[in-house]
Structure 1
Amino acid sequence: MDKFKAALVLAGVGDALGYRNFSRENNALGAKIQQELKEIGGLENLVLSPDKWPVSDNTFMHMATAEAVITEYRSLEDLYRELVKRYLDAIDKLSGRRPDPATIEGCRELKPDNHLLAWHTPFNEKGSGFGASTKAMCLGMRYWQPEKLEFLIEVSIECGRMTHNHPTGFLGSLCTALFVAYAIQGKPLAQWGREMMKVVPMAEEYCKKTIRHMAEYQEHWFYFEAKWQFYLEEREINNENQNKPVFPDNYDAEEREKTYRRWSSEGRGGRRGHDAPMIAYDALLGCSGDWTELCNRSMFHGGESAATGSIAGCLYGLVYGLSKVPKGLYQDLEQRERLEFLGENLYRLSMEEK
């Protein structure tokens, strides 16, 4: 249970740390952010107060997902209706937090008063963003057992499509949910990417059965798979005999900025559904359990650092817990009690046989 609670809390911590730089993300590079952090005493002396270090819409949407999946729903359709209601409630409370425009646009298509079609939204050319991936981690905590893989595929895709109805977007939600499940299962880190790539064809089969006009989606489907295949080859963990990721000899903050931009589709690391989980995963692979190193790699860079930080924090919590994280980063965290409550309930429900 402690690691479930740590996952939700550290997702919030990673979000808050990355979100602080939102207004200057386009020009504040990782090296500068890390230098400024040293000047104010470093991570170990930092206290994340709600007024100075608030969480972003990522955390509120993630909590909305978690709150829906701990309700006593009788069917997945009931769960989807609950998700619609909670997403719209969350969006209403985000004034002043500069929520992701793609998430707002996606929520406009939800139909809470239509019992049959509440969660059905049209294909969206602009729906390839990171927002689906940052609200889906808790789904992997609810359906982490291998025998529940089909549930996890369906729920993560439908959850993602509600706000980001584009393969790059909703495959991001599948990816983060799967990585969380792998963390709980105890799979070696280097295998996660390979295992995810085996599930993507299963996701495509599910979509072919449930999406009426699949042709619009299929022309974009390959992009997500291709980007991840290139990444796994770059780290040399693309086949079963390779379980030690290879990083460049020089992989400092400046080099990481270049790499993240290269992985991105628009020169801003973590902006899309493929590279937000990718940067978080890369940070976890490269930090060797060191919390500060994870933060440097995933939360302090010049891209969408709130998104990559949120995903990386969640995964770190499941693998390593809270013991290596300075208390000042989470003791006064905004929404901490609610996040811990959700972690406890996700643990309890996921351990019950249904």
Structure 2
Amino acid sequence: MEKFKAGMVLGAAGDALGYRKGRWESCTSGKKIQEELASLGGLGTLKLDPDNWPLSDATLLHMTTAEALITDYWCLEDLYRELVRLYVEAMVSLQGRTPDPATMEGCVHLKPHNYLLAWHTPFNEKGSGFGAAAKAMCVGMRYWQSERLENLVEVSVEIGRMTHNHPTGFLGSLTTALFASYAIQGKPLVSWGRELLKVIPLAEEYCKKTIRHMAEYQENWFYFEAKWQFYVEEREIEKEEQNKPLFPDHYDADETDKTYKRWSSEGCPGRRGHDAPMIAYDALLAAGNDWTELCKRAMFHGGESEATGLIAGCLYGLMHGMSKVPSGLYQDLDKRERLEELGEALYKAASADKCLDNHLN
């Protein structure tokens, strides 16, 4: 349970650090951010509080998703209806926090009063952003057991396409949910990328079953898969026997920025559903259990650092807990109490599923 709480809290801390009230989120140079951080006294001296280090809209939507996942739904359609209701409400409360435009556009098409089609949104050519990926780790926490993979695939795809109805967007939510489940299962980190490539076809099968937008999906599906295939090959971890990722000898802030830019689709690292989880994953591979190193690579780079910080922080918490993280980064963190409650409730909901399965068997 402690690691579930750590996942929710450290995800939010990673977001607050990468966001820095919008200042670092919009900065294009990791080196500049790291120099500014040093002038503030370094990571260990920071005290994150709601006024100076607020959470961005990305964490608030992750929390909103978690709120729905801990309700007592009878079937997944009920869960989706609850999510639609909460997302529409959240759009009102996010005023002033500059929510991701694709999320806002997606939410406009949600229909809380339409019982059958509440969560069916049109295909969105611009729905390839990071927003779906950044709100889905809690799906992996709710359905973390390997025998729940089918639920995880379905729910992560559906919550993704409610707001980001484009394969690059909703395959991002599949990725972060899957990685969260792997973190809890204790799967070797180095295997996550290649395992993802085996699960993507299950998402395609699910989408075919729902017969929505398949022509548009097929046109855009290949990009996400190709980018991840390229990534695991670049790090030399695409085969089962490859257990040591290959990193450049000098992988400093400038080098990291260059690499991340190469993975991105329009020169802004972390802006899309494929590269936000990729940067977070790469940072985890490079950092091991070193929180400071993780922050350097996932929270303090040029690009959408609040999204990559949120994903990386959450996955780190699920794997390593909070013992190596300076307490100033979470003690007075915005919404800390609710984040811990959500972590605990997700743990209990996932455990109750397990008990129910045992009972039914």
TM range (shorter): over 0.9
Q: 1:27 to 1:183 in 2, by over 3 A?
A: closer
Paired residue type of 1:259: T
Correspondence for 1:148: 148
Correspondence for 1:298: 298
Correspondence for 2:254: 254
Correspondence for 1:337: 337
Asked if 1:80 corresponds to 2:58, the answer is no
CA shift for structure 1 position 233: 0.3
Asked if 1:190 corresponds to 2:196, the answer is no
Structure 1, gaps ≥5 residues long: none
Correspondence for 1:13: 13
TM score, norm. by length of structure 1: 0.98
CA shift for structure 1 position 24: 5.7
Correspondence for 1:94: 94
Correspondence for 1:240: 240
Correspondence for 1:205: 205
Q: 1:240 to 1:24 in 2, by over 3 A?
A: closer
**Offset from partner CA, 1:5-56 (integer Å, 9 cap, x none):** 0000011001101111634645441111111111111111100010000001
Correspondence for 1:328: 328
CA contact (8 A) 1:175 1:277 kept: yes
CA distance in 1, matches of 2:27, 2:209: 44
Q: Secondary structure at the match of 1:91?
A: helix
Correspondence for 1:163: 163
Paired residue type of 2:68: A
Aligned Cα RMSD in Å?
1.0
Instruction: Quote the sequence identity (%).
Output: 71
Paired residue type of 2:30: G
Structure 2, gaps ≥5 residues long: 357-361
**Offset from partner CA, 1:50-102 (integer Å, 9 cap, x none):** 00000011111001110101000011000000000111111111121111111
Asked if 1:174 corresponds to 2:174, the answer is yes
CA distance in 1, matches of 2:180, 2:341: 18
Q: 1:182 to 1:329 in 2, by over 3 A?
A: same
CA distance in 2, matches of 1:149, 1:24: 36
Correspondence for 2:359: none
Paired residue type of 1:131: G
Q: 1:24 to 1:67 in 2, by over 3 A?
A: closer
Paired residue type of 2:179: F
Paired residue type of 1:181: S
CA distance in 2, matches of 1:136, 1:25: 20
CA shift for structure 1 position 290: 0.7
Aligned length: 354
Paired residue type of 1:135: K
Paired residue type of 1:344: E
**Offset from partner CA, 1:296-351 (integer Å, 9 cap, x none):** 00001110000000000000001110000000000111010000000001011111
1:18-33 correspondence to structure 2 within 5 Å = 18-20=18-20, 22-23=22-23, 25-33=25-33
CA distance in 2, matches of 1:328, 1:34: 18
CA distance in 1, matches of 2:109, 2:210: 18
**Offset from partner CA, 1:92-136 (integer Å, 9 cap, x none):** 111211111111111001000101110000100000000000110
Correspondence for 2:226: 226
Q: Secondary structure at the match of 2:271?
A: coil
Paired residue type of 1:134: A
Correspondence for 1:50: 50
Correspondence for 1:348: 348
Q: Which of 224-233 and 37-46 deviates more?
A: 37-46
Q: Secondary structure at the match of 1:126?
A: coil
Paired residue type of 2:47: V
CA shift for structure 1 position 209: 1.0
CA distance in 2, matches of 1:46, 1:23: 16
CA contact (8 A) 1:21 1:28 kept: no
Correspondence for 2:280: 280
Q: Which of 19-28 and 144-153 deviates more?
A: 19-28
Q: Which of 196-205 and 207-216 deviates more?
A: 207-216
Paired residue type of 1:322: M
CA contact (8 A) 1:105 1:163 kept: yes
